[in-house]
Amino acid sequence: MGIIEHIISGTSLQPLRNILDLMSLAPDVLWASLLLLAGIMLLNDLLRTALMTEHTRSVAVHALVCTLTLLPSAILGLALLYAGYRHPERAWINFGLALALYIPWYVGGTLTWLARRDTEGADVGWISHGLFITVPCGILAVVLF
């Protein structure tokens, strides 16, 4: 118990606050926010590529890859809702920017496919399922806030 108390006593919530500030898609940190979201998508694609190339026949890995394929859209949807709450006057702009982030996501999926043709990284249809998460969240952000 003393080890846990020692670890917790030296921590700060400031990094989490910084990430929340970036997820608000505020105009003064917009480029950093977009880079963070694009980086999440890129890291997600790299993780999916690594899993798909190492464990090609695993059903559990296939399910994890399918879940990871939709994870960026869920993060994007939550970011839109949070950004709509924090900056309601920018809801439409943020919604358009979130949809524009699908371009590097599609490119990342295609690069995954180029890395190894027998992977499912370029499944644009599966990535497009993310629109069923992002678009309703963006519309909710515009309507609610």
40-84 pLDDT, tens digit each:
988 888 888 788 777 777 888 888 888 888 899 999 999 999 999
The structure tokens listed for 117 are: 């043709």
User: Considering only 10-14, 27-31, 42-46, which range has the smallest mean pLDDT?
Assistant: 10-14
Q: Is 72 exposed, middle or buried (CB count within 10 Å of its CB: 0-12, 13-18, 19+)? A: buried
Burial per residue of 95-106, b for 16 or more beta-carbon CB atoms within 10 angstroms, e otherwise:
bebbeebbebbe
Nearest-angstrom CA–CA distance, 8 and 120: 41
The count of domains in the chain is: 1
92-145 pLDDT, tens digit each:
999 999 999 998 888 877 777 776 666 665 567 778 888 999 999 999 999 998
pLDDT of residue 128: 84
pLDDT bin (cut points 50, 70, 90) of residue 1 is low
Output the pTM of the full model: 0.84
| Greater pLDDT, 118 or 39 | 39
Range of the structural domain that residue 23 is part of: 2-144
